[in-house]
Amino acid sequence: MHIFAPLVALVTLASGVLADGACSGPNAHTAPPKGAIVVDATGSYTGSYVEKQDPIIRRSKLTDNYKTVSEGVAKLNPKKKSVQMVFVRPGVYHEQVLISRLASPLVLQGYTCDAKNYASNQSAPAVTITQAKSQKDIPASVTDGAARNDMTSTVRFKSDNVKVYNLNIANTVSNGGQALTVSVNATDYGFYACNPTGYQDTVLADKGRELDAKTYIIGATDFVFGRYAQAWFESCDIETIGAGYITASGREAANSSATYVFNRARVFGKSGVNSTSLGRPWRQYAKVIWQNSELGDVVKPEGWSAWDVTFSTAGLVFKEFNNSGPGTVKGSRVAFSGQLDKPVAITEVLGERYTKEWFVDTSYL
């Protein structure tokens, strides 16, 4: 197994001594809101514990210091109906995190000097959750492929209605097989100014509705994939770090609502000229649209690739609209792709009332 160390995983800092005034501005999120569960890798931040009712003296007292994200998440109340929040102080957290099913919406907020820009996550003070696990590390007794994939993921999401802000999340396995960074097996998700980094299968968008906005996604092989999700990627930067394929849609039927739409994306990378495809079909009804996007020279003139197995390409929906850049070579695209006459509207993916949905933060659109 090869391990690579992305920039975000190399951030070193002393989060416990950081003052909330280390950065400022209208978009700075440096102090946890009242009622949030606070995680601090050093345990020295005075808010890295929550109030509990003392049954003896019958009043609240401060207790519980959360030094890992998993410890903080474990203290979420699964029966509570109102919004819960976990606020993560700067640091590098070496762990896998499981978000189990909750009755409430959830916000995961990373400390940031600029909540609207993932670039603020790229240097201290920042929050990084990282680990290195691939399918090779999963016991052979686990035979279900989907379960094996999920067990490799750095963060595993099982609860509906979740918003994630300003987190770097990494799986540092490099070219060592399937090794997920983010696994979403629920619906109504928003990822805002985040940075998921991996190599193969970085982001699993597998069920329900999902919005990724102003997010920086890094990978090489099939690094946005899934079967059933309706996912909209708005103003995202997509970096390729090895020859391969950006998307692998597993849409299974012609009447499935599963769709990936990349709108106003920017594709670039270190993988070399003509080294990557916009996608390949994991299943024979794969559906992916790239529109209004800047495609760098890493994108092959053919645009798209076939899967290793042989199946009909008649049901594929691989489309583009109004893209620009050296990776946009009209007349050279594969026969099973095409150009749209007009862009896909976000309402076609997230619904007519998407602006009213809790998981949609319209300030990022």
SS percent in the chain: helix, strand, coil, step 5: 10, 35, 55
Residue 332 has pLDDT above 50, yes or no: yes
45 Cβ contact partners less than 8 Å away, ≥ 6 residues apart: 15, 16, 38, 89
DSSP-assigned states of every residue in 122-149: GSSS-EEEEE---GGGS-TT---HHHHH
How many structural domains comprise the chain? 2
pLDDT digits (tens, 9 = 90+) for 221-254: 999 999 999 999 999 999 999 999 999 999 999 9
Could you tell me if 151 and 255 lie in one domain? Answer: no
Cβ(45)–Cβ(17) under 8 Å?
no
Q: Which residue has the tokens 């819960």?
A: 84
Residue 149 and residue 2 share a domain: yes
Q: Where are the beta strands (DSSP E) in 250-297?
A: 259-263, 266-269, 276-281, 287-291, 294-295
Separation CA 63–CA 23 (nearest Å): 28
pLDDT at 18: 53
Does residue 245 share a domain with residue 328? yes
Instruction: Give the CA radius of gyration of the chain.
Output: 21
Residues 27 and 88 grouped into a single domain = yes
With a cut of 50, say whether residue 309 has pLDDT above it: yes
Single-letter amino acid code for the residue at 236: C
Task: Give the pTM.
Answer: 0.92
- pLDDT given at position 1: 54
Looking up residue 136, the CATH number of its domain turns out to be: 2.160.20.10
Cis peptide before 125 (omega within 30 of 0): yes
161 plus 228 within the same structural domain? no
Amino acid at 203: V
Residues 252 and 360 in one domain: yes
SS3 151: helix
Establish if 73 belongs to a structural domain. Answer: yes
CB distance 133 to 93 below 8 Å = no
Which residue is catalytic, options 222, 297, 341, 361?
A: 222
Chain centroid, CA 350 distance in Å: 17
pLDDT at 111 over 50: yes
- CA 1, 212, 230, 324 torsion: positive or negative? negative
Residue that wins the pLDDT comparison between 15 and 54: 54
Last residue of a domain, one of 142, 166, 190: 166
Q: DSSP of 28-92, one letter per residue?
A: -B-SPPTT-EEE-TTS-STTSSEEEEETTTTEEEEE----SHHHHHHTS-TT--S-EEEEE-SEE
**16 compared with 69, residue with greater pLDDT:** 69
- Domain annotation covers residue 57: yes
Whole-angstrom Cα distance, residue 262 to residue 292? 8
> Which of 16-30, 115-129, 289-303 is the most confident on average?
289-303
- Inter-residue contact 140 to 157 (CB < 8 Å): no
Does residue 360 lie within any of the structural domains?
yes
Whether residue 178 is contained in a domain is answered as: no
Is residue 222 annotated as part of the catalytic site, yes or no? yes
Could you tell me which residues come within 8 angstroms of residue 146 by beta carbon, excluding any fewer than 6 positions away?
Answer: none
Same domain, 213 and 141: no
Residue 138 lies in a domain: yes
Indicate whether 138 and 266 sit together in one domain.
no
Task: Dump pLDDT digits (tens) for 43-58.
Answer: 877 655 554 555 554 4
Residue where a domain terminates, one of 108, 143, 166: 166
- Please report the pLDDT score of residue 57 as a whole number: 43
Pairing of strands 237-249, 276-281: parallel
Q: If you search the block for the tokens 């090779």, which residue do you land on?
A: 136
Residue 307 inside a domain? The answer is yes
329 pLDDT exceeds 70?
Answer: yes
My answer on whether 105 and 243 are in the same domain is no
* pLDDT for residue 52: 52
Evaluate if residue 132 carries a pLDDT over 90.
yes
Domain that holds residue 315: 202-365
Instruction: Tell me, yes or no, whether 184 lies in a domain.
Output: no
Cα gap 120→40, rounded to integer Å: 19
- Where does a domain end: 166, 183, 211? 166
Q: What pLDDT is stored for residue 24 in this prediction?
A: 81
Q: Is residue 196 in a domain? A: no
Note whether 148 and 235 are same-domain residues. no
Q: What is the spatial distance between Cα 183 and Cα 35, in angstroms, rounded to a whole number?
A: 27
Residue 45, token pair as written in the block: 């931040």
Same domain, 243 and 155: no
- For the chain, percent of residues with pLDDT exceeding 70: 89
Q: Is the pLDDT of residue 153 over 60?
A: yes
- Say if residue 146 is in the same domain as residue 214: no
